């Protein structure tokens, strides 16, 4: 998978590579000057040209190092320019310090390696051939020879093959590394998309199971207040106070969620109490016969199990109030030695799970995923006219 634009990670790697290349160039230039200082006879034939070539190469290396230290962003364009300059300068150094007998023949490997790092085979092989041509011209013309017996042709051939082989090896390695990096970047991008999708799903479920359910409950309770207006003002006053408190709690939960904090709408140990409050509203506000049975009477559950079970039951009760038109709803929670078993049954209109799954999709999916997150199983049985049964079992 190829990317048309370089990622920040890719750009950072290019800058680091260019910095390493510039430091290596400075090292090559400094070593060349040191070698000539120790053996001045190497520049006896062309002293002025040799000194110019060596010191100008060193100065150019320092300038390139300065720009790389400034995080020069046009790395590809600068790389093409510096590779061309490297080939020209090294050819000049080789020519002025002995031609084919120069001690700096291996300096040709520097532009070959850097071209391979930058462009792979299409960079290293052409640069290697340019070095071979330049070296062959020096051998044929013998312009820089001192008049001694010329260097043997087999040595020239071996050195030329060495450069070409080096270009092929480094070019292949560089292309292989780039392909592996592209695969890693593709995997990283895919993993990032999956993580973003999971986070969006988490936020959707948090909003649906938390804030949206609360708002739906507020609407239902307001409708109940409107229906009871001709009745006792004390009942209406109590219901409005409960709605006011629930609204404040919802606002606090929204602020915590937007601040990135974990919302804790359920205090540990209050599952039964909170479920009874939900059922009390169904009974008093909507006239639904609501029953809660727990075994034992006081459940002792881990906080995460309590939280998820509360959300599942509240989602089921919300569906009852909004869709089922039930006259009776019953919840049973049984805590056993190694599991928690629960059921929510209503005698409402029921639903066709195949055709109605999309209309109830978020709620049913969130219920199932919350139970499965705890390692449990959730089953929904329903059919038109037969009510709905939701059962689950969670290992403890």
Tokens for 183?
């695969």
Among candidates 338, 370, 221, which has minimal Cα distance to 283?
Answer: 221
Radius of gyration (C-alpha) of the chain in whole angstroms: 39
pLDDT in the model for residue 134 = 78
Residue 97 CB neighbour total at 10 angstroms? 27
Question: Whole-model pTM?
Answer: 0.44
* pLDDT tens per residue, range 281-302: 788 777 888 899 999 988 889 9
Domains of the chain (ranges, CATH numbers): 8-193 (no CATH), 269-396 (3.30.565.10)
45-78 burial code (b ≥16 CB/10 A, e <16): bbeebbeebbeebbebbeebbeebeeebeebeeb
Name all contacts of 49-54 with Cβ < 8 Å and 24+ positions apart: 49/92, 49/95, 49/96, 50/93, 50/96, 50/97, 53/89, 53/92, 53/93, 53/96, 53/97, 54/29, 54/93
For strand 388-395 and strand 339-346, is the pairing parallel, antiparallel, or unpaired? antiparallel
Is the pLDDT at 368 greater than 50? The verdict is yes
Among candidates 347, 343, 345, 353, which has minimal Cα distance to 325?
Answer: 347
For residues 156 and 307, the model is more confident at 307
* pLDDT tens per residue, range 34-50: 888 877 776 656 788 88
* pLDDT tens per residue, range 132-149: 787 777 766 654 454 455
Residue 202 CB neighbour total at 10 angstroms? 11
**104/137 Cα distance (integer angstroms):** 16
Is the pLDDT at 392 greater than 70? The verdict is yes
Is the pLDDT at 187 greater than 50? The verdict is yes
CB neighbours of 68 closer than 8 A, spacing ≥ 6? Answer: 15, 18, 19, 21, 22
> What is the percentage of the chain residues whose pLDDT exceeds 90?
12
* pLDDT tens per residue, range 257-289: 666 666 555 678 888 888 988 888 788 777 888
Is the pLDDT at 244 greater than 60? The verdict is yes
pLDDT in the model for residue 329 = 92
Residue 230 φ/ψ, nearest 5 degrees: -70, -15
pLDDT in the model for residue 6 = 47
pLDDT in the model for residue 346 = 93
């Amino acid at each position: 998978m190829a990317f048309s634009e370089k990622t920040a990670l890719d750009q950072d790697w290019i800058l680091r590579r260019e910095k390493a290349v510039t430091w290596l160039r400075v090292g090559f230039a400094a070593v060349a000057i040191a070698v000539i200082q120790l053996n001045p006879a190497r520049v006896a034939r062309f002293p002025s040209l040799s000194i110019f070539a060596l010191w100008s190469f060193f100065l150019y290396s320092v300038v390139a190092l300065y720009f790389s230290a400034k995080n020069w962003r046009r790395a590809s364009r600068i790389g093409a320019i510096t590779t061309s300059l490297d080939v020209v300068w090294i050819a000049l150094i080789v020519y002025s310090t002995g031609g084919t007998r120069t001690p700096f023949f291996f300096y040709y490997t520097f532009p070959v390696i850097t071209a391979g790092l930058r462009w792979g085979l299409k960079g290293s092989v052409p640069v290697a051939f340019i070095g071979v041509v330049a070296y062959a011209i020096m051998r044929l013309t013998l312009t820089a020879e001192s008049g001694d017996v010329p260097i043997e042709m087999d040595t020239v051939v071996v050195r030329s093959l060495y450069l070409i082989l080096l270009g092929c090896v480094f070019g292949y390695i560089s292309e292989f590394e780039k392909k592996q990096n592209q695969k890693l970047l593709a995997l990283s991008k895919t993993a990032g998309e999956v993580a973003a999708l999971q986070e969006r799903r988490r936020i959707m479920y948090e909003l649906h199971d938390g804030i949206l359910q609360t708002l739906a409950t507020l609407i239902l309770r307001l409708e109940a207040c409107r229906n009871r207006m001709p009745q006792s003002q004390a009942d209406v006053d109590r219901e409005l106070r409960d709605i006011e408190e629930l609204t404040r709690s919802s606002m606090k939960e929204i602020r915590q969620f937007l601040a990135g904090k974990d919302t804790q709408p359920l205090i540990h140990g209050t599952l039964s109490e909170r479920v009874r409050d939900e059922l009390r509203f169904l009974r008093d506000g909507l006239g639904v016969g609501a029953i809660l049975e727990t075994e034992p009477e006081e459940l002792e559950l881990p906080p995460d199990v309590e939280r998820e079970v509360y959300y599942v039951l509240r989602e089921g009760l919300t569906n009852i109030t909004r869709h089922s038109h039930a006259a009776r709803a019953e919840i049973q929670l049984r805590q056993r030695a190694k599991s928690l078993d629960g059921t929510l049954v209503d005698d409402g209109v029921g639903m066709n799970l195949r055709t109605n799954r999309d209309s109830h999709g978020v709620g049913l999916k969130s219920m199932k995923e919350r139970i499965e997150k705890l390692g449990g199983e959730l089953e929904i049985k329903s059919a038109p006219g037969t009510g709905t049964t939701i059962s689950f079992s969670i290992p403890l």
